[in-house]
Amino acid sequence: MGCCKAIERTIITTYRKSIWRKFIEAIEEYDLIHEGDRIAVCITGDRDSLLLAKCMQEFKLHGSTDIELEFFVPTIGYNKHNCLEIMEYAKAIEIPVVMTEHVKELGCNKIALCHHFNNVIETILMGILYNGQVGTMMPKLHNQNYEGLEVIRPLYLVKEEAILRWSERNELRFFPCEYAFSKSFQRDEDDNLYIKRADVKDLIKRLLLINPNIDMNIFKSMYNVNLDTMISYEKEGFTHHFLDNYESK
């Protein structure tokens, strides 16, 4: 493992284009962070959450937006030994972290999760192939489980390949992520979730061999939804059908 400063430096130098700029782009495009925000950053021990933590630290240090950060390891889905091991490693790379089951006790108004670009496009295809619905993982959303807390995903535009290269270059240690905390926000109780996601990940890899723009095209599809070409869609809990106003057109 490289020294902490070297690890942080690679984010804004070696991986400035593929990680840092994409991180900033997501914050700006989706309006994720505001002045005075107090953000709880979820540390699950995997490479994605470690990168998120370091990006958030860099943003606080070098950015013009005044924010406060709280780093935490969720106890849901982890045994105490795993939590302590993750905390020990996080502190070794200068991420001050606490362990908690109740995020709201941290006094934050936002929670930052480490889902990245590949998670987003995989979710799009999983919805179509397994659930028969069109939708995606949103860059931010109001969390109905905790009043007053908002979920944000600052790595939304960062590709998994860049995260992998960054972690390998810095020889980071990471822990298998059980996703219990993140999963609760997605409200996905499907026992086969991980198998399905692995299958979709493999499908995308094979499609990229045919067309290298496949991943971006899947992502952009969520920007180019034409409701006039949809049989039905749901908005604010109400279903709208194309026949509802068909005769009046």
Number of domain units in the chain: 1
User: How far, in Å, CA of 170 to CA of 173, rounded?
Assistant: 9
Residue 211 domain flag: no
Residue 46 domain flag: yes
3-state secondary structure (DSSP) of residue 194: helix
Residue 64 domain flag: yes
Write down the pLDDT at residue 183: 46
Mean pLDDT by 10 residues, the chain (249 residues): 79 97 98 98 93 97 94 81 87 93 90 97 96 95 81 98 95 67 46 83 97 98 95 93 88
DSSP 222-242: TT---GGG-SEEEETTEEEET
User: How far, in Å, CA of 97 to CA of 90, rounded?
Assistant: 7
Write down the pLDDT at residue 182: 46
Strands (E), 64-119: 68-74, 97-100, 110-112
Write down the pLDDT at residue 188: 47
Write down the pLDDT at residue 137: 95
Write down the pLDDT at residue 185: 44
Strands (E), 43-100: 68-74, 97-100
Residue 223 domain flag: no
CATH code, domain carrying 25? 3.40.50.620
Residues 6+ apart with CB under 8 A from 19: 11, 51, 55, 158, 162, 163, 166
What's the full length of the chain, in residues? 249
Domain hosting 183: range is 4-118+136-189
Residue 40 domain flag: yes
